[in-house]
Amino acid sequence: MLGTIINENGDLKPVQIVLVFIFLYVLSITVLVIIRPTFIVYFAIIVPLLPVLLFILINKLDYSLLIYIAFTPIIQHYSFVSIHLGDFRVTPDMVIHLVLLIASLNHFLYSYDTNRKRSLSLQDKILLVFVILSVFSLIAASYFPINHSKRILLYYTGVFQPFTFYFIILYFLSRVPNFIKKLILAVTLTASSAALVAFIELREVGMSLINIFIARNEIGFGYHNTNLFGMHAALVFPLYFYALKSDDFKKQKQLLWLNFILLSVLSVLTLNRGTFVVLAVYLFLLFWKKENRKIVIGFIFTGLVGAIYFIDLLNLYINRFFGGGGEQSKFLMDQSALSRLEVWRVAIEGIINYPLGMGGIGYQYAWDKFGIEPSLNFVTPHQIILYIAIDYGVPALLAFILLFIIVFERISILSHADNLANSKLFYYIKLAFIGYFIHGFLTGGEFSHLSGNLFPTNGYSYMLMILLAIVSFQYGKYTNSNIIN
């Protein structure tokens, strides 16, 4: 069959594409309706993406990868459509990622050139060391009285998926011309798919600010939780300032503006303190670059006008930061902000007692053992450094810190390189990493999160790996060209 739909140039024939698309669309709808018939309307919207992805996967693997990135929030959102193997969930995202991984490995083996020297950079090797060291946390936590299916699920989605995704991106950067531009465009387009999910979610909870405020732990514009979407926004937001001012994206300017506006609105609607602080830091730093000043001033002006018009939104943010006179605000402050200190204390005590890590979801065991209220459900310390140390161990944390020391050093070199056409990009990637750590320190930044303690969410980690892979690839290319010259 494959031979009949592919012409002599290796491309799919148009007529066969339409026929096979219809067949796969009907088949996908049928299967998904059998699995979860109550979601037929949403499936009718989402399912067409699956056969399209399959078509492009057959014909153009790099385009398939880019579509996967652009639609990450949608794919992540539908993780509840999963196959249950006990407490281990096989989600659509996991299936698509595995297909991309196998296809990329096949592509690599098929096109492998034994005469072409390949070597991993220092950054790549440290990432591999992190993965190896994190395995010890699985071994060390094997005797803990915790849910081991969920522990393995968190390891698979928090370590295996993101870090193999890093090497998939790295491979295509080395094979596909101008792939950095395509990656930046795909990442910035994620705001559109996040907005589609937001529309679906807000219709369910009700189109009002108070409903969004109440449901902020149950909606996430693709990530099941507004805190997690805030991590995604922190990594993506600075890239718009690069793309909107770059001549490489002239044809996509209107599309970029639309997605920038969508991401900005969604970031504000998270009502998340960490996201608000990150955006404030970004705007402050971006203001001092002359080319960004008009956009920053326009953003702030629009924000002030919006705050006056939507006074309830301003009051909710004041409530989030400072609390109010009512019992509800006092409760939110105590439970959400001040309790973080106790959560962090328990994490530190767990790290001291279990330096090799406690594995995914192991923090709940630490809370049960050292927390002041064991009946509460805390599966994460809500802080990126403590999270890595207690889940994957202190050795893995040291590798993670070393990784970013090297990454920031390389970014400094690339952003000041006179003979590098896209040197400006790396200033904005540096901002993205700064925002990542600010958000991770204030709100938390697990590589994978079990939303509702059931559905794994890790798409924001893909955004992190994309930016890391761009730095690794461009630094290797830059140093090699300097050696040749």
Residue 161 has pLDDT above 90, yes or no: yes
Report the pLDDT value the prediction gives residue 242, as an integer from 0 to 100. Answer: 95
Q: What is the dihedral of CA 182, 183, 188, 189, to 10 degrees?
A: 60
Q: Pull the structure tokens for residue 283.
A: 């705007």
pLDDT in tens, 107-125: 776 665 555 556 788 999 9
**How many other CB atoms are found less than 10 A from the CB of residue 440?**
22
The ranges assigned to domains in the chain are 123-484
**Residue 111, C-beta contacts closer than 8 angstroms, at least 6 positions apart:** 175
CA–CA gap between residue 74 and residue 459 (Å, rounded): 10
Residue with the bigger pLDDT between 361 and 410: it is: 410
Please state the rounded mean pLDDT for residues 163-181: 91
For residue 67, the model assigns a pLDDT of 84
- Pairing mode of beta strands 449-451, 88-90: unpaired
Mean pLDDT for all residues in the chain: 79
Average pLDDT over residues 193-199: 88
Higher pLDDT, 50 or 86: 86
Residue-wise pLDDT tens digits, 278-316: 999 999 999 998 889 999 999 888 888 877 777 766 676
CB atoms within 10 A of CB 115: 4
Percent of the chain with pLDDT over 90: 29
Name the percent of the chain lying above pLDDT 70: 78
List the single range of 161-165, 201-205, 235-239 with lowest mean pLDDT: 201-205
pLDDT at 411: 95
pTM of the model: 0.85
Kindly state the average pLDDT of the residues 135-155: 81
For the ranges 187-196, 285-294, 302-311, 432-441, the lowest mean pLDDT is seen at 302-311
Give the amino acid at 253: K
Query: Strand runs (DSSP E) across 392-485, as ranges?
Result: 449-451, 455-457
Query: What is the predicted pLDDT for the residue at 189?
Result: 92
The band of 394, judged by pLDDT with boundaries at 50, 70 and 90, is: very high
What average pLDDT score do residues 229-257 get?
Answer: 92
For residues 13-37, give the mean pLDDT.
52
Q: What's the CA gap between 83 and 76, in Å, rounded?
A: 15
Residue 129 has pLDDT above 50, yes or no: yes
pLDDT confidence bin for 13, thresholds 50/70/90: very low
Top mean-pLDDT range of 41-50, 102-111, 179-188: 179-188
Which of the two residues, 368 and 331, has the higher pLDDT score?
368
Mean pLDDT of 405-414: 94
Going by the DSSP 8-state scheme, the letter that residue 12 receives in this structure is B
Residue 324 is predicted with a pLDDT of 47
* pLDDT one-digit tens code per residue, 244-279: 999 889 988 999 999 999 999 999 888 888 888 999
Backbone conformation region of residue 214, classed left if phi is above 0, alpha if psi is from -120 to 50, else beta: alpha
pLDDT at 191 over 90: yes
Using a CB cutoff of 8 Å and minimum separation of 24, what contacts does 398-403 make?
399/126, 399/129, 399/130, 399/133, 400/130, 402/126, 403/123, 403/126, 403/127, 403/130
Distance CA 44, CA 46 (A): 6
Q: What is the pLDDT of residue 334?
A: 43
Q: Which residue has the higher pLDDT, 71 or 148?
A: 71
Task: Compute the average pLDDT of residues 432-455.
Answer: 84
